[in-house]
Amino acid sequence: MKKLRKIDTVKRKKERKDARDRLAAQATHMLDHPEDCCVCHTPFERTAETVLTWRVMVRDETVRLTCPDCWGVIKEALGAQE
């Protein structure tokens, strides 16, 4: 009797492991975030409000921290390009 569905468990396990490794790497980069805004150099003070409003971008191994004011300027510039 043939199987109705063939599952490649080895491939799926490898994908899950790779995803876990990428997440762990990004989490460690998040802990090494800069102490000020990458655009205007406003110092980052860790409070409940700043944690919710500031933006963190992780690309490869670079971490960029952006304040809400600069993030609004970036969004407007990107909107004007489109």
- The tokens of 15 are what? 């994908």
Q: Domain for residue 14, yes or no?
A: yes
pLDDT tens readout for residues 49-66: 888 888 888 777 778 888
Q: Domain for residue 38, yes or no?
A: yes
What is the reported pLDDT for 20? 94
pLDDT classification of 11: cutoffs 50, 70, 90: confident
What is the reported pLDDT for 3? 57
Q: Domain for residue 3, yes or no?
A: no
Domains: count for the chain = 1
Domain span at residue 18? 10-81
What is the reported pLDDT for 17? 95
63 and 34 Cβ atoms separated by less than 8 Å: yes
Does pLDDT of 18 surpass 70? Answer: yes
Q: Domain for residue 45, yes or no?
A: yes
Tally of CB atoms within 10 A around 47:
9
> Percent of the chain beyond pLDDT 70?
88
CA distance 30 to 62: 10
Q: Domain for residue 65, yes or no?
A: yes
Distance from chain centroid for Cα 52 = 14
54 and 66 Cβ atoms separated by less than 8 Å: yes
Q: Domain for residue 26, yes or no?
A: yes
